[in-house]
Amino acid sequence: MNRELFSKWGFILATIGSAVGLGNIWKFPYITGEYGGGAFVLIYLITILFVGISILIAEMFLGNFGKSDPVTTFEKVNPSMRWFGLMAFNGLIIMTFYSVVIGWIFYYIYSSINGLPTSVSEAEKEFKTLIGDSVAIQIAFHTLATLIVLHFVNGGIKEGIEKLNRILMPALMVILFGILLYSFTLPSFGKAFEFLFYPHWEKLSSEAFIRAVGHSFFTLSLGMGAIITYSASVSDRVNISKTALIVAFFDTLIALVAGLIIFTLLFQFGEEPSKGPGLVFISMPVIFSQMGGVGYFLSLLFLIALAMAGLTSAVSLVEPAVLYVINRFGLTRFKATILMGSIYWFIGIFAILSYSNSYGEFWSFFGKPLFDIFETTTDSLLLPLSGVIIAVVVGYIIKRENLNKISSEMGGVFSIWYISIRFIAPIAVIFLMLNLFGIIEL
């Protein structure tokens, strides 16, 4: 069996790199804007604390227990459960749109060199032209994103994934904190702070709760074996529960920092926060252009940070399936990487087509473009469902004595974790599912 080890810091950085991604900088601010700010943030923090962190610890434990790809790990728990390990393929489904979005970011880096849009209508037009008319350009940038990701996955745990994260993660943090310091000097910083942290309860809905739970899985990279796979490649001496807390802390911190930056700039230039997925691609470029010279520079830094966050997450979305194919079918890493990469790259083209003006209707089902179908089925269905499988396997199937490593790490907190993994997390997800299928109205 193929087993390469991360260094201790390499593991921590790579796991933070997996968690901190487009989910934090692109998605978190726009869903927070859509659901009205503070109350959503509070619900999100509570779900991270009670559902997210406990499943994160469970996934790390499973990885450390199985020391292999997700399929082999579940097989080690119980041979009949090996099918659960196929959750590794959730990552490829996510990549069909994730890689396309990284491609958009690359396109924006390229186009912003030629100048920024000066009005919202101009920016809207640019974004609509990109996703509606420019199929070839999007395929080109989706291909570029794919090649970069595959290059690092092909390098393996140490020479590929660890190296990428050792450089990009510190750089990402420096850039984001630099922009945060700048936003701090702007008068609207206080308003952004209030928007994020003062809960307006009247704006809260059950839908916001569902989105918060779904997003807590996505943002912590749970429910597809990414964390299992990374934790399989770490020395037994590493303290799992402490690492999980560090990862959740940085993931949440960076989402909040991104939110503070984006809302400060939005309010400063009189924009509305509820802009949806176009927030980063439509509102931000206009704001940057209104800032003059410094805006041009900030825009480039912001987009580069976004690209870096996306790439370090993308490698973790591909690696579990690659490792599975290497271990099970004896492929070389190179062949496995090309094979798994081609699958999501190819399907990604249909995600692109589903947004285009000419082919969109053909590649939509039940009135929804394929792009959105891939996004919502993973985020609202497959990730929470796989997360609950992980919770049940660790909470009920694994023998209690196998949990000694983490119970000695956690001390008194262990019993709280054990309750949340056995009861709180599964119940939260069951509510989510019942609501999703319209069986109950929350």
Judged by the rule CB under 6 A, the positions of this chain that interact with ligand TRP are: 18-19, 21-24, 91, 94, 218-219, 221, 223-224, 226, 313, 316-317, 383
In b/e form, how buried is each residue of 44-66, taking b as 16+ CB within 10 angstroms?
Answer: bbebbebbbbbbbbbbbbbbbbb
Shortest distance in whole angstroms from residue 79 CB to ligand TRP: 25
Comparison of 53 and 116: residue with beta carbon closer to ligand TRP:
53
- The CB density around residue 245, as the number of other CB atoms within 10 Å, is 15
The H or E element containing residue 31 is helix 28-34
Of 91, 281, 354, 304, the C-alpha closest to 178 is 304
Of 63, 385, 131, 397, the C-alpha closest to 282 is 131
Shortest distance in whole angstroms from residue 129 CB to ligand TRP: 26
Comparison of 19 and 123: residue with beta carbon closer to ligand TRP:
19
The residue count for the chain: 442
Task: Say if CB 220 and CB 19 are below 8 A apart.
Answer: yes
Shortest distance in whole angstroms from residue 168 CB to ligand TRP: 14
Comparison of 23 and 395: residue with beta carbon closer to ligand TRP:
23
Pairing status of strand 364-365 against strand 368-369: antiparallel
Shortest distance in whole angstroms from residue 91 CB to ligand TRP: 6
Classify residue 269 by its DSSP letter.
Answer: T
Comparison of 218 and 345: residue with beta carbon closer to ligand TRP:
218
Comparison of 123 and 383: residue with beta carbon closer to ligand TRP:
383
CA atoms in the 13 A half-sphere facing the CB of 430:
8
Shortest distance in whole angstroms from residue 49 CB to ligand TRP: 17
Task: Say if CB 57 and CB 48 are below 8 A apart.
Answer: no
Residue 438 main-chain phi, psi, to 5 deg: 70, 20
Residue 262 main-chain phi, psi, to 5 deg: -65, -45
Comparison of 24 and 138: residue with beta carbon closer to ligand TRP:
24
Shortest distance in whole angstroms from residue 296 CB to ligand TRP: 26
Shortest distance in whole angstroms from residue 297 CB to ligand TRP: 25
Residue 183 main-chain phi, psi, to 5 deg: -60, -30
Comparison of 138 and 221: residue with beta carbon closer to ligand TRP:
221
